[in-house]
């Protein structure tokens, strides 16, 4: 209860900085975070589209198996084998 509240506060804090300007936001397909296209830690092109990542680790995971993350994002269904 209390822990959950704290987590919410922390999450808002880290995302509170809203950069002014026309920074477009993209969604990191790996972790689902909103990523500012100008501030993305890494980008990757796949299927003629550019994807933005919050961290290099996310890009690496995406490059390994792009389909997996793209399918997951649309179906919101997660199944591990
Ligand atoms: Zn990420």
What confidence tens digit (pLDDT) does each residue in 25-75 have? 999 999 999 999 999 999 999 999 999 999 999 999 999 999 999 986 455
Q: What single-letter DSSP state applies at residue 16?
A: -
2 CA to middle of ligand 1, Å? 26
59 CA to middle of ligand 1, Å? 8
The CB-based long-range contact list for 44-53 (8 Å cut-off, 24+ gap) reads: 46/70, 51/26, 52/26, 52/27, 52/28, 53/28
73 CA to middle of ligand 1, Å? 13
Q: Binning pLDDT at 50, 70 and 90, where does residue 23 land?
A: confident
- What are the Cα distances from residue 47, in Å, to 12, 25, 26, 78, 81? 33, 19, 16, 22, 26
Threshold 0.85, pTM exceeds: no
42 CA to middle of ligand 1, Å? 9
Helix axes 56-64, 66-75, angle to 10 degrees: 100
């Amino acid at each position: 209860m209390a822990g959950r509240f704290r987590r919410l506060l922390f999450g808002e804090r880290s995302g509170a900085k809203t950069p002014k300007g026309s920074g477009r936001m993209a969604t990191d397909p790996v972790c689902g975070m909103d990523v500012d296209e100008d501030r993305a830690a890494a980008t990757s092109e796949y299927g003629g589209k550019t994807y933005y990542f919050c961290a290099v680790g996310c890009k690496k995971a995406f490059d390994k198996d792009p389909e997996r993350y793209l399918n997951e994002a649309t179906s919101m269904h997660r199944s591990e084998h």
